[in-house]
Structure 1
């Protein structure tokens, strides 16, 4: 049945009636049927006027006796266009001034009024910084490997000189202990031990030359027009080649 109300908003008779429930902000919650006793009015959070239909991105709000749409971004994350900090919206209304729903593309981007971008000046600054990081990493890698190879540099040099001298003497005459001690421990004759010492010394020299060549490839990073991705690829290849040289030494 339909309940009638007097001019003061009180029910003339008792009965059930369809009402529309709103929250404390006037936002439509749901429709329900309520029982109204004669002489009573509607509950404070109920209205009789049917609300506007639901609309994506908006809440339906009852204000001053009328339904209206109000932007609803509650629960959404927006970002400051000045410092990129995130904010979760908890109130109805438009996105706050100096905030955007677009997430920053990187930590170095800036807001240009329409979107996030990395300025040309910032890109140049980042590229110069990355270049120095790559060069330092390459030099440090080479130094680390070289320090291992040259721990016993004076010993290597004397062993090589002894091997060259014995070879020059056609493997005859006095033999350095560098040769005889190695021959004895490896169960080799002096000639074979001499040849192995010389081969090892020559092999190490070749590795050192190649390590130096790889380290100097850092200048490839300074070529004009390289993107950060291309610089990264060059750096990674240099480091990998150095690792290969270190492994070759370890297995040699």
Structure 2
């Protein structure tokens, strides 16, 4: 084991969280699970596998990840979602690290899937994130959507070998549902920030994002899956600005009720 705490956020992830925990146990003896009201067997699976489980109210992605960081035993944090599974190459790389510089963060390559099909191209195929860091220097931005790590200037980044396998959605229907959920969340966020939905954002940005994903990033090489992702990205971009326009036109922020699901990032 290495002096790293693995922090996992969960909500109704009984179908996969056991696999994530099994890999996490090869990394650390401290696995913290922040559960946000699961109604399936997620909590029982986590406790049965020796995790420290805390059930917390939902305050947003970044805020809830920070709750887990605060409860961790070690200062070094490996942050995972319940549907993100480290592979053996990454685990070996982690065991080789000398974690002596708190001003260092580690960037990890992601492999993303629709169901069991790996998406190799498009934006998904290029996905990578900083997920290993020292909590004395780095925290999550307390955002409802698209949580981002607040990394101070001067902190060094290093890419490490291995991958996190992200089983984000079971099928295209779930992809579309999560995309709509994120569009609503983003619209509320943008409204709160005083942003406007210009004609450029409404009509040009969706087309640009489609072309970038499908052509420039070679999404078409993923066949049907690449087309579905690019099309969903188009719809997501248009919908979030359409909802923002409606909010701004009404001069009143619409309270958007959304189902709490951990969604993919675009």
Q: Give the TM-score normalised by structure 1.
A: 0.20
Instruction: Tell me which protein shows more strand as a share of its residues.
Output: 2
Greater relative contact order (Cα 8 A, min sep 6): structure 1 or 2? 2
Larger radius of gyration: 1
TM-score normalised per structure 2: 0.19
